[in-house]
Amino acid sequence: MTANIGTVDRVLRALIGLALLAMAFGGFVPALAVGAPKWIAVAVGVVMLGTAGVRFCPLYRIFDIRTCQR
């Protein structure tokens, strides 16, 4: 598993993941406060944080995308 996520991409993923989790659990957005939208936002937020943490995105590998330097 080689890194395929660059620094800017990594920071953006982490910020988006944290924002989704904050919206889902913080109640800032009523549409994401309950039900399926909440858990979808949680799942996407966790995946975004996870891929930012390990610097690897499986979809990037499938489509042969790299945002980091080789």
Above 90 in pLDDT, residue 8? yes
Cα–chain center distance at 38: 15
Give 51's contacts (C-beta < 8 A, 6+ positions apart).
Answer: 5, 13, 57
Per-residue pLDDT tens digits for 29-66:
888 888 999 999 999 999 999 999 999 999 999 999 99
Single pTM value for the model: 0.89
Domain positions in the chain are: 7-62
